[in-house]
Amino acid sequence: MKKDRVRKPIDKWNGESIPLGASRDVKLTVSESYSSMSVRIPIHIRRAKQDGPVVFVTAALHGDEINGTGAVRQLVQDPDFELIRGSMIFVPVLNLLAFDRHSRYLPDRRDLNRSFPGSESGSLAGRMARTIFEEIVSRCDYGIDLHTASVRRTNYPNVRGDLSDPEVRRLAVAFGSEIIMNGVGPPGAFRREACLAGCPSIIMEGGEVWKVEPGIVESAVRGIKNVLHNLEMVDVEPVSPDYQVIVEKSKWIRAEHGGFLQFHVKPGDIIAEGQPLATNTTLLGRGRSMLHAPFDSVVIGMTTLPATSPGEPVCNLGKLPKGTKPSKLRRMRREEDGLEGQVVEELSTNLLIVEPGKPMKKG
């Protein structure tokens, strides 16, 4: 159940007024360091000359997931990016304590993205979450949170949200990713709790930790602009994907044996049931077993570490909707000079892709 909202004004920050048509860099104190210094996250506020929706775009909620940081910085620095109505809150690094440690987690070893809406008297993570919720979410009508895969994994760009909420569905579809994953998110997750508080929010997942990858940044920037166009906040032409599918179920395919993997698919590949995913080999390259797709699917994520042990995740497959043919989607995707094709090739450069039963070649 959504809660009654207590809204804070967008035009007042730390006692400073930000009128319509103005932009300001502000800082939000979220905690203190071990040396008793204030931990203040940098925020950029941008307001159009005409009132309208307030939207947050946040990144690095996990401190090592910085592809989104690159996207936020690009938008803030773009001289041609102009709002025609409404306001934006840009946060390039939400979890500064983890970012400074090149870590996913806070110094108290907690996951900030499982700590919302937080508590004024709780743990370090809970207190930070409460401040972020009160100072950012409470000012906004909509939210976009940018993520990557976790360590030693990569994700093909996809949007995630609770599609039972019409406004979340609106944002997710407008973003323009090929893949939309339907789900409310885990308890304590930023976007789940923001939605419950009355601020419809989505996340984008794409790429790897500790990197700013050009194709992922372009995908994020394009998607954010698409959403803002849908909300009538910018005057830009939206860019639609060649196809769009809603994934209701995903599954990690796990290694059956220890050994060294030979990958047969790339992140973003559209594959058919029974298609080979990876071959597990000995260190001398002798085949032990082969993993196959259990259903028609899209490769949402993959491990980037070929050394594996039994039970470790290899490929995250998003099940295609009933009646959706992989061959049709492959035909619909633009040639490799389109953004989606470029991203598939870009992400695959971190893997060695081989055809089943053939000598290895660089992906």
| Cβ atoms of residues 226 and 176 within 8 Å | yes
How do strand 153-161 and strand 87-91 relate by DSSP bridges? unpaired
Rounded Cα distance, 53 and 171, in Å:
13
Q: What is the pLDDT of residue 4?
A: 66
Instruction: List, for residues 175-189, the tens digit of each pLDDT value.
Output: 999 999 999 999 999
Q: What is the pLDDT of residue 136?
A: 98
Rounded Cα distance, 319 and 299, in Å:
9
Query: Which pLDDT band holds residue 3 (cuts at 50, 70, 90)?
Result: low
Q: In this structure, how many other beta carbons lie within 10 angstroms of the beta carbon of residue 40?
A: 13
Q: pLDDT higher for 337 or 5?
A: 5
Instruction: List, for residues 239-297, the tens digit of each pLDDT value.
Output: 999 999 999 999 999 999 999 999 999 999 999 999 999 999 999 999 999 999 999 99
Which residues are paired to 13 by β-bridges? 16
Q: Looking up tokens 């979220």, which residue turns up?
A: 30
Q: Report the percentage of the chain scoring pLDDT > 90.
A: 90
Q: What is the pLDDT of residue 357?
A: 75
> Could you please report the per-residue DSSP string of 70-106?
HHHHHHHH-TT---SSSEEEEES-S-HHHHHTT-SS-
Q: Looking up tokens 């993959």, which residue turns up?
A: 302
Lowest mean pLDDT among 73-77, 227-231, 340-344: 340-344
* Dihedral-angle region of residue 30 (phi above 0 means left; psi in -120 to 50 means alpha; beta otherwise): alpha
Rounded Cα distance, 56 and 36, in Å:
29
Check whether 1 has a pLDDT greater than 90. Answer: no
Check whether 350 has a pLDDT greater than 90. Answer: no
Single-letter code of the amino acid located at 131 = T
Single-letter code of the amino acid located at 6 = V
The dihedral built from the CA positions of residue 353, 357, 358 and 360, taken in this order, carries a sign that is positive
Question: What is the mean pLDDT of the segment spanning 94-109?
Answer: 96
Q: What is the pLDDT of residue 358?
A: 62
Could you tell me the two tokens for 60? 């690095």
Which pTM does this prediction carry?
0.95
The distance from CA 261 to its chain's CA centroid, rounded to whole angstroms, is 26
Q: What is the pLDDT of residue 359?
A: 52
Question: What is the mean pLDDT of the segment spanning 206-235?
Answer: 98
H/E element, 49: none
Q: What is the pLDDT of residue 15?
A: 87
| In the chain, beta strands by DSSP E | 12-13, 16-17, 23-32, 38-47, 54-59, 87-91, 142-147, 153-161, 179-182, 201-207, 245-247, 250-254, 259-263, 270-271, 276-281, 287-292, 297-303, 307-308, 313-319
Q: What is the pLDDT of residue 2?
A: 52
Rounded Cα distance, 201 and 270, in Å:
27
How do strand 245-247 and strand 179-182 relate by DSSP bridges? parallel
Question: What is the mean pLDDT of the segment spanning 103-121?
Answer: 96
Q: What is the pLDDT of residue 195?
A: 98
Which stretches within 142-230 are classed as H helix?
166-175, 190-196, 214-230
Check whether 5 has a pLDDT greater than 90. Answer: no
Question: What is the mean pLDDT of the segment spanning 188-208?
Answer: 98
Which residues are paired to 129 by β-bridges? none
* Cα angle 226-64-45, degrees, rounded to a multiple of 5: 45
Q: What is the pLDDT of residue 321?
A: 96
Q: What is the pLDDT of residue 361?
A: 46
Instruction: List, for residues 37-89, the tens digit of each pLDDT value.
Output: 999 999 999 999 999 999 999 999 999 999 999 999 999 999 999 999 999 99
> Could you please report the per-residue DSSP string of 208-257?
-TT---HHHHHHHHHHHHHHHHHTT-S-------S--EEE--EEEEE-SS
